[in-house]
Chains A and B, each alone.
Chain A
């Protein structure tokens, strides 16, 4: 039941509860209770809006930053990850396998603002060995949603 609910609200968190009940063939009250429970358990962590900022005309820059760090003795990566995610401009921090350790995604107003964050805040951190910043030039698809093209029904209108 949880998986079915989550698959739908992951794509559309604003769906009407009575409609969700119809789609899943369940009772509305059960769904409301289940969602409340999942919120309480921290399974559902938030409800966000997917925005194509390019279309708003508002200047925004996103970057992916690869960060190599030396983990602190006894604390692993937790400590340094926490230092980084506390900055409000940081939107995500992932621990990564492979040639670097942390992947930090960042939203800023301009290239300069992002660069400034990297040089002034991120790089000087004691455990950070090196960083490599990649600016996102265009988002084609985000959170499973294609941003660049509208769905077009290419089928014939009537087929047997």
Chain B
């Protein structure tokens, strides 16, 4: 028999998260700080809208780009919360999670061999999606001394004649880093000058903790026409299982994304779309409440790290902290494995999000304070033992 597989798929490395997941699931009564999803339930009024849509028999396909009502509410929301103006008919597509938008965005924009810039540490799907789109991923290693923000110099260094798209993953998973207006203006200059495009993954846009709201790069003058903004319902409204996201951008690009989406997916799940209408229309208060709860936990963890002398830059976004464990002379994976074996707490090694995550851990605070307190006690005990040696 011939090899039934495509080389480019076989060559993609399995995610580092997967490997760690297998170790954790073997371990009984481990507590985990390893998830990338909210601990809150989807607010009831949103679930209710989903249930109601089923009762009403709204069980058919929607139009390919998504329910008109939802697209209108998404655009209103983006105007209200992010100061972004998009046309619901020509510039908006509802996708199966933000992850589909990343995939079809890259496929719509990149020709074989063109380069996609991926700042790391970052979410696990960018590099594989770029490879599947026949692009050449070019990794930009972000640095702790810049609080894991992308600087104009770093960007410039990695741009070649082949560079087509920059993926901009802020607020960032796993570091919790954000990009503020000044940071964005600095890189926007380079982007415009070098005539490249941006896929801005803003799935954590609602979860920032520095006073000012999240700023999208599409808001910076000259950037709207070269940016695809990706967002979704998973993180802000605790709707991960509903699998719903969206992308907004210039019609020229969105039109082609809709083409791929129409053949690969048809349309996003109808029940989820109806529920999502309630989320973006009436959900601002739910989001504010959850944001406040995350912020308390974030402060708690930062305080705990300071008390135990664990180095960690203060992250102002998403629901992760990214402490540095270089002082212990172990790799991230060794540290995480021993911490799991000895204290039964699961955290994710920074290397799961790119090579430059070495020496760091991703700790999620999408857990109750009670849970975090137990985990922190164990971390303290573990570190004390390590330092004694």
Contacts and interface: CB of A to CB of B under 8 A. Distances in A.
Contact of B299 (A7, A22, A157): A22
A109 to B, nearest CB: 34
Interface in B287-317: 292, 296-297, 299-300, 303
Which of B24, B124, B303 gathers most chain A CB within 10 Å? Answer: B303
A22 B17 CA distance: 31
A158 interface: yes
Interface string B15-43: 10100110011000010101111010000
A19 B352 CA distance: 33
A25 interface: yes
B24 A159 contact: no
B239 interface: no
A23 B296 contact: yes
Nearest to B17: A160
Nearest to B38: A155
Interface in A13-28: 19, 22-25
B116 interface: no
Contacts of B296: 8, 23-24
A30 B197 CA distance: 49
A157 B39 contact: no
Nearest to B99: A160
A157 B303 contact: no
A159 to B, nearest CB: 5
B356 interface: no
Which of A25, A155, A158, A159 gathers most chain B CB within 10 Å? Answer: A158
Interface of B: 15, 17, 20-21, 24-25, 30, 32, 34-37, 39, 123-125, 173, 292, 296-297, 299-300, 303, 346, 348, 352, 368-369
27 contacts: A4-B292, A7-B292, A8-B296, A19-B300, A22-B299, A22-B303, A23-B299, A23-B300, A24-B296, A24-B299, A25-B299, A153-B39, A155-B39, A157-B24, A157-B25, A157-B34, A158-B20, A158-B24, A158-B32, A158-B34, A158-B346, A158-B348, A159-B36, A160-B15, A160-B124, A160-B125, A160-B352
Given A8-B296, A160-B15, 14 more contacts: A4-B292, A7-B292, A19-B300, A22-B303, A23-B297, A23-B299, A24-B296, A155-B39, A156-B35, A157-B21, A157-B24, A158-B20, A158-B32, A158-B34
